[in-house]
Amino acid sequence: MLKQHRRALAWLVALACIAGAVVALFDIETPLRPFLISLFLLVVPGAAVVGLLRDRDPLAALSVGAAASLVLNVLLAQAMLLFGAWSPRAGVATVAVLGGFMYVLRVLYRGKSMQTQQGAR
């Protein structure tokens, strides 16, 4: 039962993050705009990093994910300001691309480790 609630919460957060990206990229005005975009910018990089940290203490992985999310967003904002290319849309798109790239790494990494486990049998 708890696993179903956890899965439903994960899907709800994922859908809210997707909605935040869509709202930011297409400049949709809604009262939920600040919440959805902030949720996207904080959750996506952190979730991607936590996915790469397998077989770790959950609290440590969560802490590293939160720190990585903040670091990624701050470095991205600093780089955009430094180069005079400030654009909220570009920032959201960059975070989405980096999150997707880390997800692909996670899938490849887990697939590779599963193949080595099967080969060891």
> Is residue 42 a part of any domain in this protein?
no
Instruction: Please give the model's pTM, rounded to 2 decimal places.
Output: 0.83
Residue 115 token pair:
């193949």
- Residue 8's pLDDT is what? 92
Mean pLDDT calculated for residue range 102-109: 89
> Is residue 104 a part of any domain in this protein?
yes
The total number of structural domains that make up the chain: 2
> Is residue 56 a part of any domain in this protein?
yes
> Is residue 74 a part of any domain in this protein?
yes
- 97: how many CB neighbours lie within 10 A of its CB? 10
> Is residue 40 a part of any domain in this protein?
no
Q: How far apart are CA 121 and CA 107, in angstroms?
A: 21
> Is residue 81 a part of any domain in this protein?
yes
DSSP assignment letter at 8: H
> Is residue 12 a part of any domain in this protein?
no
Res 116 pLDDT > 60: no
Give the tens place of pLDDT for each residue, 17-75.
999 999 999 999 999 999 999 999 999 999 999 988 877 888 999 999 999 999 999 99
Residue 103 token pair:
């997800």
Res 117 pLDDT > 70: no
> Is residue 16 a part of any domain in this protein?
no
> Domain limits at 51?
47-86
